[in-house]
Structure 1
C-alpha cells in the first residue's frame, strides 16, 4: 500500500500507527469517522460510537456542514494512567487512561468518561478552529523555531469553553453535570495566584517561555489560557448576548470568522473587530479589563444573566493553609512550591527545603495523614 503527501508539512500532519487495534466506525452527517483503539481495554464500543456520532454531528452542524475533511480518524492509545491529545487536519492523536473508557453495563456517564469525551471533542473542534481558521502568521510556519501568537486565548480558550458546552447542548450531560464541570474550571483559575499577575494576552504570547517551561514559581506568576480563556469566552458570550438582546452570541463570532477568514487567518485584532461589528458597539473597555489586564472576571454578574447563582465558597478554616506544595516520594517531604503572600513565604520557607519534623513529630508518608492540616495544598 502506498501513500502520497503533497509536502513535508502535510506529511507530519498525518500520524501513523502500525499495531493491532480495535476499530469502531460511525457516520456523522454522511461523513465517515473511525476510531482506532490500542492498548488493553474493555471499552463499550457501541456506546462510544453512538456518543461520538452525536457530538461530531453537532460540531459539523455548528459550522453549517462546511467542514474541511472527507473522513476523520481518532487514534486512541489507552494506558494505565495518561491523558493528552494533539490535533491534525483530519485526525487526532489521543492518550487516555483505561478508567476513562465507557464500560458495558454502565449507563450513567461517569466523570472519567466525560473527561475522555471532552478530549475527543476538544481535538475534533480543532479541525476547523486552528487547523483551518488560525492566526495569520501560522499560515507560513517556520518549523525551525517557535512560532508566537497572542491568540491562544481565542483558539485554546474558546475551544475549552465549547468542548464541555457541546456536551450540554447534545444532552450527553445534564445541566447539573455541566455546571459541576464549569465550577471546577472556575476553582482552578481562582486558586491560581498568577491570574493577578499575568494577563491572558501575555499568557498566550509567553506560552513557549513560561507555560511550557514552568519552574517552581510558575503558580505565582502565570495563568492558563486554557482555563481562564474558557471563562473569558463564557463572559464574552453572555456580554454579546446582553448587548444584542440575545440576537447574537459567541457562536456568531466563530461562524463569521469561519466564513470569512479561512484563506488569510486572524490578525491579533480580528476577533475584536468582529465582536464590535456584531454588537454594533465598542467592547474596548471589556477587553482592556479582562484580556489586556488582570481584573477579576465578573462571573457572578454573568451567571446571574442566565439565572444561575454563582457563590464562591471559602471555608475560613482552610484559608490559613500551609501555602506550599510538597513532594513526599523521597525520604523527606520536600517543598516544591511556595505560594506568594502566604505564611509559608513570610516564614522564610524556600523551594527545596525538606520538612523533617512538625511539632516535634517526624514527617513521613505514614504521619502525613495526621498532619494533613498543615499541608492542605500538598500534592
Structure 2
C-alpha cells in the first residue's frame, strides 16, 4: 500500500494514430476540459462527428453533447464550416488533409456518469468528452498510421491554474508514455474501448493489493479519513471471494476502483477493468473494533462488490440487445432484473462471505432490501420485466409518485434471485445454487449475449422446470413473492412488522414501534417540513395532503424537526385531528384520521445457525 504512480513499462515509438485526442485540464476555475481531436485521414466527403446520448450501464438519455462549447474545425490553417444535423452530431465540410477539431466540455456534474473539474480533482468518462468519428475510414493498409486506432493524451494543469502541483492521473486505459504522475498518452483499439476507461485526476491516494496475481488498486480523490490498511484488507477479501465464485476466470489483467470522495454522494458505474465510484467521506471509516461494523462502511464495500461483479455480469455476459451497444438512442431489454437484481443480491453476499460483514448484519440488511422491494403499491402494479424495459423513463426518471407506480428491478430482482438461489439449493440438497446458473450462462452466452428465454432455460437446466416456472411467474406478473416461506426453510425467522420509519430527510430517521402512520415521506428544507412523497390510501392521501405541502401544525400545535416524533406519539390509530399545511402561499386546514402502520417491513433474524450457514456459502 503506497501512494506512488507506476509508469507503464511499454514505451513504444509514438506514431500518429488515425484519431488523437488531447485533453487539457488547466481551465479549472471555469470547469472546462479543452479537447483537441486530430483526424489524420478524414473522409474526403466530409467528417461526421457524434457524442453518445448515453453510456453503458446507465440507462437514461443524457445528451452529453449539450456540454460542448466553442466548437471549431481547422484544416491546414483553414477554418472549416460545419453543420449540426441533430443535437449530438456535427458534419464538417469536405477537406483533403488532416483536420483538427477543438472544443471545450463543461465539466460540472459531480457523478460517475459524465465529467467534473475543479481545483480539488477532476474526472471524466471519455463518452462525455471524446467525439466519435462516424465515417472513419479503415487504415489497415496505410503504413503511415499506427495499428492503434485511438490515442488519448491528458495534460496536467498548469502551475498557475490553482491545482495542487502533486496532481496525479489514474485510469485503466493502456499507457504508451507518461510521466511519473501518470499524465501522458493512452491507447485504445476502437471507440467502444476508448469510452470504457474513466479517468481520475487529482492528489490521489493509491491503496494497492494483489488478487490471483492480478494487481488491484483503490484510488481515492478528495479529502478522506480512510483506514487504508483496513480498506485494503477488506476489499482484497471481497475480490478474492468473487474470483473464487467465477472459478478463477478473470476478464482483466489489472483493476482499479476509481473513487471520488465528497461530503455527500453515492454511486458507481462499471467499466471493463475499473469502476467509477463516488462516496461520502464518512463511509470510508469502518468504526470501532466491535462485533458490529459501521453500516455505512459496509454499504461502501457493498458498492465496490456490486461494481466488481459487473466485470463478469454486464461487461462480459450481457443482454443480446446490447450486442453491440447503440449509444445514439435507447436500447430496450427485459433482463435488467437479472443483470442488476442478481448483482444486488450477491453484492452484500460477497461482503459477508469474505468475513468482513457479520452474518447477522447481512441478514438484517437483506430484510431491509426485501422491505424496499415489496413496499407500496408500485410492486403490485408493475412486473420486474416491465420495470427493466422502462428503466429509461420510469426508473431512471422517478417522480414523487414512484412508490405508487413502479417496481425496482434492483431490489425486487434481488428478491427473485434470492428465491431462485434457495430453491436450487433445496432441490439439490445444497449441491447447486445460483452460482451454477451464472457459470452456465457465462460459458454459453458470453460471446453473443442472452435473451429472456436463455435465463429461464438456464434455471430449468441447472435446477428443474418447476423452479423455472415459479421464477417466470414472479418475473412476468406482480404475484407476491414467498420470501418468508423460503427463508424459514434456511433457518431465518421472518417477522413482518408494522414499525414505520418516520423519515425526515436529511437528518432524522426514527422508528415508531407503535402508534400511527401518516403514510408520507417528509423532507426538511431550511426550517420547513415538506411532504416529499405520499402513499396511496394513506392517512395523508385521504386527508388530501399533497406533495410539496409544508406541514406547520398538528392539532393546532406547531410542528418542528425537534418535536415531530413526540407529536406523532400523542395519537392512536382511528383518532382524528386537524392539521395545517401551506400549499404554495395558501394556508390549508385538513382533517386527518391516523392509521395503524402497515406490516410492510421484514425483520430477519437467524433462528437455526446450522441451516443458515449452509446457505451462506457456495
8 A contact 1:39–1:78 mirrored in 2: yes
Q: Deviations over 1:30-64 (max 9, x none)?
A: 11111111111121212211111111111112111
Work out which of the residue numbers 140, 153, 173 in structure 1 matches 2:337. 153
Q: In 1, Cα distance between the equivalents of 2:303 and 2:472?
A: 31
Unmatched tracts of structure 1, length 5 or more: none
Do the aligned partners of residues 180 and 64 (structure 1) sit closer, same or farther apart at CA in structure 2, a change above 3 Å counting? same
Q: Secondary structure at the match of 2:199?
A: coil
Cα RMSD over matched residues? 2.3
Structure with higher Rg: it is 2
Structure with bigger RCO (C-alpha 8 Å, 6+ apart): 1
Q: Which structure is higher in helix share?
A: 1
The structure 1 residue matched to 2:522, chosen from 323, 326, 345, is 326
TM-score, L = length of structure 1: 0.93
1:349 counterpart residue number: 545
1:26 aligned partner: 209
SS in 1 for 2:223: coil
Q: Which has the higher strand share?
A: 2
Q: How far has the Cα of 1:362 moved from its partner?
A: 3.2
Match status 1:269 vs 2:453: yes
Partner residue in 1 for 2:298: 114
CA contact (8 A) 2:342 2:417 kept: yes
Structure 1 counterpart SS, 2:398 = coil
Q: 1:81: Cα distance to partner? A: 1.7
Matched position secondary structure for 1:334: strand
For residue 183 of structure 1, the aligned residue among 367, 371, 381 is 367
1:64-83 pair list within 5 angstroms? 64-83=247-266
Normalising by structure 2, what TM-score? 0.58
What aligned pairs does 1:224-303 form with structure 2 within 5 A after superposition? 224-303=408-487
Corresponding residue number in structure 2 for 1:93: 276
In structure 2, list runs of 5 or more residues that go unmatched: 1-177, 179-184, 501-512, 572-593, 598-618
Asked if the contact 1:63–1:258 (Cα under 8 Å) also holds between the matched residues in 2, the reply is no
> What is the deviation of 1:319?
7.3
- 1:242 deviation in Å? 2.3
SS in 2 for 1:232: helix
Counterparts of 1:370 and 1:311 in 2: how far apart (Å)?
26
The equivalent residue for 2:404 is 220
Residues in 2 aligned to 1:360 and 1:125: alpha-carbon distance in whole angstroms: 53
CA drift of 1:22 comes to 0.7
Structure 1 contact 47–102 (Cα < 8 Å) conserved: no
Write the distance in 2 (CA, Å) between the matches of 1:17 and 1:70: 19
Indicate the residue corresponding to 2:165 in structure 1: none
| SS of match in other structure, 1:141 | coil
CA distance in 2, matches of 1:179, 1:371: 33
C-alpha displacement of 1:286 = 0.7
Contact between 2:259 and 2:276, CA under 8 Å: does it hold in 1?
yes
1:269-295 CA-partner distances (Å, limit 9, x unpaired): 111001111224244541343111111
Structure 1 residues 365 and 241, CA gap change in structure 2 (3 angstroms): closer
Distance 2:499 2:356 in 1: 32
For this pair of structures, how many residues does the alignment match?
Answer: 377
- Match status 1:4 vs 2:187: yes
* Alignment correspondent of 1:37: 220
Asked if 2 retains the 8 angstrom alpha-carbon contact of 1:44 and 1:104, the reply is no
